A = this chain, B = another copy of it.
Amino acid sequence: MRSHYCGQLNELLIDHSVTLCGWVHRRRDHGGVIFVDLRDRAGIVQIVFDPKQPEAFTLAERLRNEYVLQIQGQIRRRPTGTENPDLPTGQVEVVANQIDILNPAEPTPFQIDEVNINEEVRLRYRYLDLRRPTMLARFQLRAKITSLLRTFLNEQGFLDIETPMLTKATPEGARDYLVPSRTHPGKFFALPQSPQLFKQLLMMAGMDRYYQIVRCFRDEDLRADRQPEFTQLDIEMSFIDETILKNIMESMIRMLFTEVLQVELPNPFPSLTYQEALLRYGSDKPDLRVPLELTEVSDLMTAVDFKVFAQPANDPQGRVAALCVPQGAKLLSRKQIDDYTLFVTHYGAKGLAYIKVNDMTAGREGLQSPILKFLPDQVINTVLERTQANSGSLIFFGADKAKIVNEALGALRLKIGEDLNLTQPGWKPLWVVDYPMFEWDDKEKRWFSLHHPFTAPKVQNIAALEADPIHCQSRAYDMVLNGSEIGGGSIRIHRTEMQAAVFRILGIGEEEAQEKFGFLLEALKYGCPPHGGIAFGLDRLVMLMVGAHSIRDVIAFPKTQTANCLLTAAPSVISPEQLRELHIKVHTTENVVN
């Protein structure tokens, strides 16, 4: 039906006859001639309808935006002065001698080349939104990215193996999406939050190297940029340690950035321990593009006569930290400092102390701060020294539980980086390692896995692990890029006794462990190889690489933050017969429907 794509036409094809198919992107009438920009997946080309070809011209008069056409014509060079250097095809145009209107179109709810369209409208008419060249380019790039990843992994001997979507509910982790079983009344499948246990079983099956680009599901209250269903590049390997796995994964990501963005990422990626990441950046996914760091000053504040600092400084779970902004004293207004004080309260901070360094040479006189009076000279001097302050610096302080200080100053660090345009361009990947194995939950009064219950601890000794869970580190690792966690994984437990011990520490009794994970504990007994893996959030990785601001822009048919599909109006009401077949009734607090 066509000889070329619109976007393929160029000067080498001048005088050729072509058949094109596409959409009317724009129509202009000028000097008795009709010009149509015809659009297809490859781009846009200008079609000229001359009244001297009356048949085509008459049809062309009926054309409106988004009509679907088939056109036959001759390529010619555009008359001098009418070239369009912004268009790859801008040196040529097609003189139409035949036109076939394959489908007319009603006026669309928005113009395809309109910017700033309300997102609800975009999602409601997603098929129109996706016609926009920027959106199309994103999905072409996404396809290229997945294809490159697959090729790399195939070449490295990874087997692409599919795992079930209708599977068993996983009690640890986020909330499952459930699927009632018709043939087993009262029982439910769960949609996978990840293929974690299946990929481990594949290692026990001797598959050695596995990968899958796989849909995962989490029924969470959607935060800013989460989707109920998302796509994961899921990977697992046998007979390896952290070093082997991290090397291969780094090469993969480096290859991807070279091929897609012509960017050379560092080799190797830098690595930070969890502890160091929190100390220096207040975050376990630090954005290294921002050249600001937190400075530990807890030890200086234990004896100061300022309770706001002294109390957290003396609390084993507290922290006092400084964030020094070079030139901040000059660049940040009183108003901005007030805004930041409000900003940190969103992270639980009760305030934001600061010291303005007007003149480093003038001693106390050169400093300006409401808290100055509480701090002895030696403390001030050491703070200035540690933060490497200079005349013009502004030093912010966080003092609270360490968690709050880290979150507040970590977020402030990024905000100031953005506000003062300090964030460097480019790509800053790193590994974060040496995570704690467990985290104590004060509300539920029990240990939780920081990663997941199948992550191996660094200690091999079970007694040592059970004696001191809080100080035990795991063999987990996260890959972080520009402040986003793009991948995370671990070496897994491969022995029954260790897995059972971890379940015990997590407060999962033997009976419960049997019921929920019995098949895993059993499988571990029959010759499980040492293994580990990683999973990348593909939507987020693609989003970063294509320069989109939301993962919704790299998912063809995403859901809203209330988990609606505005296009199809899913979820929807189901017939009573269907519910009866599934042995369930709808039950809201107000009423029981059928």
Q: Which residues of A contact B (CB under 8 A)?
A: 1-2, 21, 23, 39-41, 66-68, 70, 102-106, 108, 125-131, 136, 139-140, 142-143, 146-147, 150, 154, 159-169, 175-191, 197-198, 201-202, 204-209, 215, 217, 219, 221, 228-229, 231, 238-241, 244, 494-495, 518-519, 523, 525-530, 555-557, 559, 562-565, 567-574, 578, 580-588, 592-593
Contact = CB atoms under 8 A, between A and B. Distances in A.
B130 A181 contact: no
Closest 8 CB pairs of A and B: A105-B527, A130-B205, A66-B527, A187-B571, A168-B570, A41-B208, A181-B571, A21-B239
Contact of A105 (B176, B221, B526): B526
A164 B123 CA distance: 14
A130 B229 contact: no
Nearest to A208: B41
A39 to B, nearest CB: 7
Contact of A186 (B126, B160, B204, B586): B586
A111 to B, nearest CB: 12
Given A161-B139, A167-B570, A168-B569, A178 B181 contact: no
B159 A103 contact: no
B568 A168 contact: yes
Contacts of A573: 186-188
B182 A179 contact: no
A572 B169 contact: yes
A593 B240 CA distance: 48
Contacts of A570: 164, 166-169, 189-190
A404 to B, nearest CB: 30
Contacts of A565: 164, 166-168
Contact of A572 (B1, B168, B201, B209): B168
A161 B555 CA distance: 9
Contacts of A198: 556-557
Contacts of A240: 1
A1 B136 CA distance: 44
